[in-house]
């Protein structure tokens, strides 16, 4: 299975600011995803990070709020912009290839105050 | 889109007993069903998965069964141990759906001594 590293592992941020989360994989992967897990809740897909093109966002998530980059097949970033307390969640990077297993990073626990 | 329901939301068993968690899905095109274990402060860990061409899969103390006709699948943990205590998530994925996972709402399993 792929080894996925997320940075930072946790952060406390002031409202109105932005935080960029990094996801690094130890091997090239076709697909990378970003999920949000609100406190005590399940995982909700934010977007699919596409290499060399704009990310594909799920309903309810927009690029202005969650800009995503994927410059190559092993790295992606998710930015949470203009944060409010409602953005306090765990943000998770996931990787996989078509018809294979999906693996998750350890997550970034974000608290907005 | 896909909808995955999971029951129960909490489950408490005595050490050594069996635990069963059930999920139903709505999209008949779904053909891959993984189960994840999430411990406090960690990302989801893939523990077992099943594809639609298989009715049952077992790995030591854990097993998963799939009933495609009824659109439901279950996780079975035998001889439970305290370290099995965690939140378990089921998920479903359809080929051609961008490899996106749709998650159930999670089951908090507590194994008591």
- State what percent of residues in chain A have pLDDT above 90: 83
Give the per-residue pLDDT at B77: 98
Is-contact A72 A93, C-beta < 8 A?
no
Look at chain B and count its residues. 113
Q: What is the mean pLDDT of each run of 10 residues along chain B (113 residues)?
A: 95 98 95 95 95 92 96 97 98 80 96 95
The continuous run of DSSP H or E covering A3 comes out as: none
For an interface test with B, which of A43, A44, A48 has the most B Cβ atoms less than 10 Å from its Cβ?
Answer: A43
| Chain A residue with Cα closest to B5 | A42
Chain A contact for B101, CB < 8 A? yes
Is-contact A22 A7, C-beta < 8 A?
yes
Chain B contact for A91, CB < 8 A? no
Chain B contact for A104, CB < 8 A? yes
Give the per-residue pLDDT at A64: 97
Residue A79 pLDDT level (bands cut at 50, 70, 90): very high
Chain B contact for A94, CB < 8 A? yes
Give the per-residue pLDDT at B97: 62
Give the per-residue pLDDT at A101: 86
* Alpha carbons A38 and A22: distance in angstroms, whole number: 19
Region for B41 from its dihedrals, namely left if φ exceeds 0, alpha if ψ lies in -120 to 50, beta otherwise: left
Tell me which of B99 and A103 has the higher pLDDT: A103
Look at chain A and count its residues. 113
| Chain A residue with Cα closest to B30 | A99
Chain A neighbors of B49, CB-CB under 8 A: 101
Residue A43 pLDDT level (bands cut at 50, 70, 90): very high
């Amino acid at each position: 299975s792929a080894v996925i590293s997320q940075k930072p592992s946790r952060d406390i941020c002031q409202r109105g600011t932005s935080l960029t989360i990094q996801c690094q994989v130890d091997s090239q992967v076709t697909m990378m995803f970003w999920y949000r897990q609100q406190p005590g809740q399940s995982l909700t897909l934010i977007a699919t990070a596409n290499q060399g093109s704009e990310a594909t966002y799920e309903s309810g998530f927009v690029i202005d709020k969650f800009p995503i980059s994927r410059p190559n097949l092993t790295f992606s970033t998710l930015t949470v912009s203009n944060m409010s307390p409602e953005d306090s969640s765990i943000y998770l990077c996931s990787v996989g290839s078509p018809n294979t297993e999906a693996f998750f990073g350890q997550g970034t626990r974000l608290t907005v105050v | 889109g896909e909808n995955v329901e999971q029951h129960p939301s909490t489950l408490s068993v005595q050490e050594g007993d069996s635990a069963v968690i059930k999920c139903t899905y709505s999209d008949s095109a779904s053909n891959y069903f993984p189960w994840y274990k999430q411990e406090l402060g960690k990302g989801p860990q893939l523990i077992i998965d099943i594809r639609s061409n298989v009715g049952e899969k077992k790995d030591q103390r854990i097993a998963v069964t799939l009933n495609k006709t009824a659109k439901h699948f279950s996780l079975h943990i035998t001889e439970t141990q305290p370290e099995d205590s965690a939140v378990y998530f089921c998920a479903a994925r359809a080929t051609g759906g961008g490899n996106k996972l749709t998650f159930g709402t999670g089951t908090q399993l507590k194994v008591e001594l």
